[in-house]
Amino acid sequence: KMAEKQEEPSNTQNGEPDNAEEGEGKKKKKVKREDLPPFEIVTGERLPAIFFKFQFRNVEYSSGRNKTFLCYVIETQGKESVTSRGYLEDEHAAAHAEIAFFNTILPKCESSLRYNITWYVSSSPCVTCAERITETLRKNKNLHLTIMVGRLFMWEEPEMQAALKKMKSAGCKLRIMKPQDFEYVWQNFVEQEEGEEAKAFVPWEDIHENFQYYEEKLAEIL
């Protein structure tokens, strides 16, 4: 199944997001995940525009937006630099996207290499994922992580605030996505209709106000 996906990265049939999980999906994934080669999983795929427009919207009340979409860029610096990119969503990984990233995309860090990783995520991590990020960064000093988030998740909760502060102290850079960051994701990670000119990114009405709102909240927390 994964191999097929590799050969046709422009999955445009409408059912794709759902049918990827049907039937054998859940059970097999857990068993098989470990023996899949890293980077093969979602590299080269782009997320459907409708998902982007809904999930990445930096609204204040995010009802129904309970999935995490994580687009990543990994620059690995060794003798030569290698850049890879792709996206993960919760459903395909039987775990939150952040944890799935460390389990499947980057299961181990070679100590001789330096990793500069940028995530573009629809919302900031939950407490458990934040703890995993903190722990991974503390263990791997050669791993540098910048997380660009569309919105803050449960930021009023003291436990959440403490988890975000710990991430920061472990060296994680947490930033709120600006309108141009959304545009970057649109251009680099979102499916464009085949045969058409790439559609320009159309910012939603309150994109800038919401960015400023979340940026203030994050500054207060950190």
**Catalytically annotated residues:** 98
Paired tokens of 164: 């975000």
| Helix/strand/coil (H/E/C) assignment for every residue in 157-190 | CHHHHHHHHHHHHCCCEEEECCHHHHHHHHHHHE
C-alpha to C-alpha distance for 86 and 116, rounded to whole angstroms? 15
Paired tokens of 149: 């988030």
Backbone angles phi, psi at 220, to 5 degrees: -65, -40
Which residue, among 15, 26, 75, has the nearest Cα to 50 in the 3D structure?
A: 15
* Furthest CA-CA distance within the chain: 49
Residue 152, judged by CB atoms within 10 A of its CB (0-12, 13-18, 19+), counts as buried
